[in-house]
Amino acid sequence: MTAIWTRQWTEVCRFDDLEPERGVAALVGGDQVAVFRTHDGAVYAVSNYDPCSGAYVLSRGIVGTRGHAPTVASPMFKDVYDLRTGECFGQPNVMIRTYAVSCTDGIVRVAARDPS
């Protein structure tokens, strides 16, 4: 199956509003998105929803690394997610949604789902 999505970008905040290695939550087209800035200045966006606890809390987790993967640990039950892919370490069938991020002119934008 191949589906084509068109991206719709939402301004979230200024890059400078993001603390290194800490997240914020943002509303993007009705979704709760967790946006993180890592120590090297990269920005990642994943769903704020922690599937293991059912709470929207991932933006409040601790940012770090596993090997070379940038990660966030859910503050609820400490499940760790790969910020690049949304995969959950240690739980092969658990994943969170990832969002495309762009950062131009110091503005961070996140691509929401197709509005349709």
Residue ranges binding another protein (CB under 8 A): 1-7, 9-13, 17, 19-22, 24-27, 32, 35, 38-39, 49, 51-57, 60-67, 70-71, 73, 75-76, 78, 80, 93-97, 100, 102, 104, 109
Q: What is the rounded distance in angstroms from the CA atom of residue 19 to the CA atom of residue 36?
A: 8
The position carrying tokens 């914020």 is: 24
- Shortest gap between Cβ of 36 and another protein (angstroms)? 11
Nearer to another protein, 44 or 109 (CB): 109
Nearer to another protein, 3 or 116 (CB): 3
The answer to whether the CB of 46 falls within 8 A of the CB of 86 is yes
Nearer to another protein, 5 or 106 (CB): 5
Q: Give the β-pairing of 80-82 and 98-99.
A: unpaired
Q: Around 9, how many Cα atoms within 13 Å sit in the side-chain half-sphere?
A: 10
- Shortest gap between Cβ of 57 and another protein (angstroms)? 5
Amino acid identity at 97:
R
